[in-house]
């Protein structure tokens, strides 16, 4: 007989203190080490991903002026980042509703993702309005003063990310690079957390559905559906969570060669309801395919696995090796602006372990085993990771402890996706 349990069964075990909760990393490491993990050995697997997720946006509503100061806002800028006023006009109430895309930008170094992190960090931001009467109003606010602030998504938490190479000899600037993308086949860039990713742990979405409780950037939220361009073969998710509860280390702006993008983090608990779910949860990087596309036409040129690209999770810095270059390439290209060349320090809360600094520093002051893949007889080094697996591990571990401590409830979807 197939072994089965329900979400209610698991929640009862959690209440009794007898449930076993493992992170995806812990489960996969047990499998890799040859430890036998059966249906009775684990009740919940906490999975997570942290990556550039372009389809992330904020919905804000707050007071900006006294009543009858203006009729309607026609344009809104938050720290210079353009927002869409509305859809509610809030006529003469002094309130604005605004939607801000994570990919909206003030300039090439500051966009929606940077704004979201500034808000969550409780930094004061500038609010600039243009009104239907032609007025220009400027004020300042913080997230604590913004009564409604939700982060949502058109598509997040892809199961199927891609790797990219430049198959032509010319260099190209792309959202998939942070500097000039060298060709032909000189370097490989990729995204995705592989065996940690929620939709790799539950690809058929047996446990993930409308109403599934998640952590988004550390805040409790919910899955609200599948996202744009989602399919059975390449699923992704829409979600929503309150920005007031988010933690800044899990989100932020990520500057690509084509402009600012946004990083977002998700953690999703996978209740082990049957043997099939457990079998999927135990799949390793070596079994998870990663398609390599040509950055020019986005067509496949090869197929590898996440085991080929995920080696060392952490980028390290040795200040003693820093040569004080007059024109530091790391400072100019670091997508999170995490390196302070004057102080010779790396801001660990900002650093996303992308690895761009490793190949840029002539003194090898930055080091990490990024890996190298074989493509059509060529050895192509990995030079950029647009996902932070180290942070995903941390978020999955946070969720595990919240589940065990009774701070996070496993929920059954109200509808299948």
Which tokens is 120 given?
């969550």
Q: According to CATH, what is the number of the domain 55-152?
A: 2.60.40
DSSP-assigned states of every residue in 81-144: EEEEE-SS--TTTTEEEEEEETT-EEETTEEHHHHHHHHHTT--EEEEEEETTS-EEEEEE-GG
Rounded alpha-carbon distances, angstroms, from residue 156 to 122, 313, 396: 24, 22, 16
CA dist., res. 402 & res. 409, Å (int):
8
DSSP-assigned states of every residue in 289-301: EEEEEETTT--EE
Please tell me the predicted confidence (pLDDT) of residue 1: 60
Q: If you compute the radius of gyration of the chain from its CA atoms, what whole number of angstroms results?
A: 22
* Tens-level pLDDT at each residue, the chain (417 residues): 678 999 999 999 999 999 999 999 999 999 999 999 999 999 999 999 999 999 999 999 999 999 999 999 999 999 999 999 988 889 999 999 999 999 999 999 999 999 999 999 999 999 999 999 999 999 999 999 999 999 999 999 999 899 999 999 999 999 999 999 999 999 999 999 999 999 999 999 999 999 999 999 999 999 999 999 999 999 999 999 999 999 999 999 999 999 999 999 999 999 999 999 999 999 999 999 999 999 999 999 999 999 999 999 999 999 999 998 989 999 999 999 999 999 999 999 999 999 999 999 999 999 999 999 999 889 999 999 999 999 999 999 999 999 999 999 999 999 999
Please tell me the predicted confidence (pLDDT) of residue 326: 86
How many Cα atoms sit within 13 Å of 208 on the Cβ side?
A: 30
CA dist., res. 98 & res. 141, Å (int):
14
User: Which sequence spans correspond to the domains of the chain?
Assistant: 55-152
Contact 207, 277 (CB under 8 A): yes
Contact 156, 130 (CB under 8 A): no
CA dist., res. 353 & res. 364, Å (int):
15
Phi, psi of 120 (to 5 degrees): -65, -30
The full length of the chain comes to 417
CA dist., res. 75 & res. 78, Å (int):
10
DSSP-assigned states of every residue in 4-49: B--HHHHHHHHHHT---EEEHHHHHHHHHTT----GGG-SEEEEEE
Rounded alpha-carbon distances, angstroms, from residue 399 to 23, 159, 383: 9, 20, 30
For the entire predicted model, the pTM comes to: 0.96
Contacts of 290 (CB under 8 A, 6+ apart): 161, 162, 163, 190, 192, 194, 303, 304, 305, 306, 308, 309
CA dist., res. 20 & res. 12, Å (int):
12
Contact 81, 112 (CB under 8 A): yes
């Amino acid at each position: 007989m197939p072994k089965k349990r329900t979400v209610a069964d698991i929640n009862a075990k959690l209440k009794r203190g007898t449930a076993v909760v493992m992170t995806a990393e812990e489960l996969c490491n047990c499998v890799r080490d040859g430890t036998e993990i059966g249906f009775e050995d684990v009740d919940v697997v906490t999975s997570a991903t942290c990556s550039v997720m372009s389809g992330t946006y904020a919905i804000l509503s707050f007071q900006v002026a006294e009543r009858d100061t203006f009729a309607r806002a026609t344009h809104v800028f938050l720290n210079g980042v353009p927002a869409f006023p509305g859809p509610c006009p809030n006529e003469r109430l002094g309130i604005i509703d605004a939607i801000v895309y994570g990919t909206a930008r003030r300039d090439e170094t500051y966009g929606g993702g940077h704004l979201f992190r500034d808000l969550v960090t409780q930094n004061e931001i500038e609010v600039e309005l243009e009104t239907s009467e032609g007025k220009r109003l400027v004020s300042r606010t913080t997230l604590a003063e913004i009564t409604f602030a939700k982060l949502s998504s058109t598509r997040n938490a892809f199961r199927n990310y891609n790797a990219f190479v430049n198959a032509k000899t010319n260099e190209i600037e792309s959202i998939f690079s942070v500097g000039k993308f060298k060709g032909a086949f000189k370097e490989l860039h990729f995204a995705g957390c592989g065996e940690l990713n929620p939709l790799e742990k539950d690809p058929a979405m047996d446990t993930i559905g409308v109403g599934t409780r998640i952590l988004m950037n550390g805040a409790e939220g919910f899955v609200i559906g599948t996202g744009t361009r989602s399919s059975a073969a390449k699923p992704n998710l829409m979600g929503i969570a309150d920005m007031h509860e988010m933690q800044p280390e899990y989100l932020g702006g990520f500057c690509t060669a084509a402009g600012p993008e946004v990083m977002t983090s998700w953690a999703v608990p996978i209740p082990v309801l049957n043997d099939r779910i457990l079998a999927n949860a135990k799949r390793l990087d070596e079994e998870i395919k990663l398609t390599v596309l040509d950055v020019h036409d986005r067509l496949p040129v090869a197929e590898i696995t996440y085991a080929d690209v995920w080696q060392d999770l952490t980028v390290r810095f040795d200040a003693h090796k820093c040569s004080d270059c007059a024109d530091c390439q790391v400072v100019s290209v670091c997508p999170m602006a995490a390196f302070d060349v004057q102080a010779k320090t790396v801001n660990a809360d900002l650093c996303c372990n992308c690895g761009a600094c490793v190949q840029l520093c002539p003194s090898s002051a930055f080091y990490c085993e990024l890996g190298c893949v074989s493509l059509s007889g060529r050895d192509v080094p990995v030079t950029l990771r647009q996902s932070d697996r180290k942070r995903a591990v941390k978020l999955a571990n946070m969720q595990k402890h919240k589940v065990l401590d009774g701070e996070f409830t496993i929920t059954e979807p109200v509808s299948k996706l």
